[in-house]
Structure 1
Amino acid sequence: MPRHAQRLMDTLSLASVTQSAARWLLCAALQTCGLSALAQTLPLAATDWPPFEFADAQGMATGADTEVIQAAFERMQLSASIRIQPWARVEQQGAKGEFAAIYSVIKTPERMQNFVFSDPISSSKMVFFKRKSQALQWQSLADLSAYTVGISAGFAYPEVFTQAVQAKQFKAVVPSYGASADLSSLKGLQRGVVDVVICELSVCQYLIKTHATDLTGIDHMPTLIGTELPMYLAFSKNWPRAEALAHEFNLALAKVTSSGARKKIYKKYGMQSE
């Protein structure tokens, strides 16, 4: 190994940079070309959240946002090694720099301390799901004060809902954990463990369709909770050149969108792309 490369590795070790980040930065340092020409693989992470991102029958990451990100990475001459795991671990390990980036992320002040956010890749529409046998409707969250609400642990929800939870406005709030937290919440709803479940519209519609036998008695209330929220690819500030990577990604994402490829990807999954 060249002396300057060894000095770089020693410096990275002292700085407690993760091994995968150190290897990537070393490779970048040994290149004479620009960032966009580095044919490297970046480790990414997401949770099981179909149709945006999920593992297929072979265990490979797929989904609408996954394919959009891969299309942008291809234009950057990068590839992605994607791990699907519970969201709490995704966010925690991403903040430490164990992954170059995580997705699909809703922006919060806390997350902005740890991540550099891309331009939006998609958006989230949160609604309440209920049993078909329930004659439930709501205009204000206060209308649901007598009900138990199912949530997915660690997820970011619209501020109006978060404030209602903090104010203990509902009868109870029951979190689900793991890589398939939304599916667990829906199954709890089917069994009567909770009265309603807050969930992204496309996600829980997809889960109900693909688990029809187990979730036959569930539908949703159309009223949107808060506003539609953009979602992002979030680069860890503890990953080398996070700002530069985010900038390169935004340029590539714009080309994917303008070419019509992004719209085709979302249509493939039965989703709309703005």
Structure 2
Amino acid sequence: MKAGLVVLGVVASVWMSTAHAEDITLTLQEYPPYMGDALPHKGLLTRIVVAAFAQQKITAKLVAVPNKRAIDGVRMGLYEGGFGWAKNPEREKDLIYTDPILSLSMVFCQKRGREISWKKLPDLATYRIGITSGNFYSDEFDNLVKAGVLKVDASNSDVSNLRKLNAGYIDVLPIDVEVGPYLIAQNLGEDERKNIVCPPQAYWSAPLHVVLDRKNPKSPRWATEFNIGLRRLLESGQLNTLLDQARKDINQAK
């Protein structure tokens, strides 16, 4: 009789631990090293998103899609959620946003030995600033360019701009603090890598969130569960540990 009670107790314990387990389907876009289907852990941001949901016994199932579909598909109800998006009043009509996960932090990569001292964006008025066509660099940056205060030189990719920076054709390159070093490590030769530095002084930061389909009745609860899981990772110190390991794995992969 006692043995039967023990077995029943074990079964009940297992049932209770899995009763609330469920899946959520999230879109995965390409923005290395934050996100990417071929990256270790599917990217830095992906590592945290998956772990935060897992804290609450929710399995994040990732679907790799083109970048535009990564958010439009969620807004249309084709997917339950996505991640890596900044707040936008127009998007908030269709989407529920979680608490911020990480923030993009825009810095200026420069040629080693020719570092520029600056405090505000207008301080860069006399320098050649490389930009990548189609990228957004903040409202303030765009307004200063339109006003003729900042002089920009456009290329078709960040990698092309890094090579122009190395060759001295531009003086600074605005780029995210994680993206810059990743692209340098993945695309430039050893001598080129030594010539470029990306100081951590940021001119703009943009918090990134998980977004969920507002029409889905599960979304408010999923947002709450994710926020709880994210706080648990942060308070336990696991968040930084996961990030450090993912960053190491991604930088070593080539």
Structures share a fold, TM > 0.5?
yes
Correspondence for 1:220:
198
- The alpha-carbon deviation at position 106 of structure 1 amounts to 2.3
Instruction: Specify which of 7, 22, 26 is matched with residue 39 of structure 1.
Output: 22
Q: Which 10-residue stretch deviates more, 217-226 or 241-250?
A: 217-226
Correspondence for 2:130:
149
- The alpha-carbon deviation at position 66 of structure 1 amounts to 1.0
Quick one: distance in 1 between partners of 2:101 and 2:49? 8
Q: Against the structure 1 CA distance between its residues 212 and 174, is the aligned structure 2 distance closer, same or farther, given a 3 Å change threshold?
A: closer
- The alpha-carbon deviation at position 38 of structure 1 amounts to 5.2
- The alpha-carbon deviation at position 169 of structure 1 amounts to 3.2
Correspondence for 1:130:
110
Quick one: distance in 2 between partners of 1:185 and 1:122? 25
Quick one: distance in 1 between partners of 2:212 and 2:123? 39
**Superimposed CA distance per residue, residues 81-137 of structure 1 (whole angstroms, 9 cap, x where no aligned partner):** 324555444333343333322222222333333321111211222111133364533
Correspondence for 1:196:
172
Q: Against the structure 1 CA distance between its residues 100 and 45, is the aligned structure 2 distance closer, same or farther, given a 3 Å change threshold?
A: farther
Correspondence for 1:64:
44
TM-score w.r.t. structure 1 length?
A: 0.67
Correspondence for 2:81:
101
Correspondence for 1:246:
223
Q: Against the structure 1 CA distance between its residues 48 and 162, is the aligned structure 2 distance closer, same or farther, given a 3 Å change threshold?
A: same
Q: Against the structure 1 CA distance between its residues 129 and 232, is the aligned structure 2 distance closer, same or farther, given a 3 Å change threshold?
A: same
Answering whether residue 214 of structure 2 is matched by residue 237 of structure 1, we say yes
Correspondence for 1:14:
none
CA contact (8 A) 2:52 2:226 kept: yes
Give the number of equivalent residue pairs. 228
- The alpha-carbon deviation at position 199 of structure 1 amounts to 1.1
- The alpha-carbon deviation at position 173 of structure 1 amounts to 5.4
Q: Against the structure 1 CA distance between its residues 97 and 174, is the aligned structure 2 distance closer, same or farther, given a 3 Å change threshold?
A: farther
Q: Against the structure 1 CA distance between its residues 184 and 101, is the aligned structure 2 distance closer, same or farther, given a 3 Å change threshold?
A: farther
Quick one: distance in 2 between partners of 1:171 and 1:207? 24
Q: Against the structure 1 CA distance between its residues 100 and 173, is the aligned structure 2 distance closer, same or farther, given a 3 Å change threshold?
A: farther
**Superimposed CA distance per residue, residues 21-69 of structure 1 (whole angstroms, 9 cap, x where no aligned partner):** xxxxxxxxxxxxxxx825224132232221x323336xx7522221111
**Tell me, which stretches of 5 or more residues in structure 1 are unaligned?**
1-35
Correspondence for 2:162:
186
Correspondence for 1:55:
37
CA contact (8 A) 1:41 1:78 kept: yes
SS class of match (2:26): strand
Quick one: distance in 1 between partners of 2:106 and 2:55? 32
**Superimposed CA distance per residue, residues 170-226 of structure 1 (whole angstroms, 9 cap, x where no aligned partner):** 3235264xxxx5445434544666543211112212322333417423223443203
**Superimposed CA distance per residue, residues 241-262 of structure 1 (whole angstroms, 9 cap, x where no aligned partner):** 3222212211222223233321
Instruction: Specify which of 186, 199, 210 is matched with residue 210 of structure 1.
Output: 186
SS class of match (1:123): strand
Quick one: distance in 2 between partners of 1:98 and 1:77? 23
**Superimposed CA distance per residue, residues 122-179 of structure 1 (whole angstroms, 9 cap, x where no aligned partner):** 1222111133364533333223335243146354x44432432443433235264xxx
Quick one: distance in 1 between partners of 2:133 and 2:218? 32
Aligned amino acid, residue 36 of structure 2: F
Instruction: Specify which of 153, 156, 172 is matched with residue 152 of structure 2.
Output: 172
Correspondence for 2:55:
75
- The alpha-carbon deviation at position 70 of structure 1 amounts to 0.9
Quick one: distance in 2 between partners of 1:169 and 1:189? 20
CA contact (8 A) 1:174 1:194 kept: no
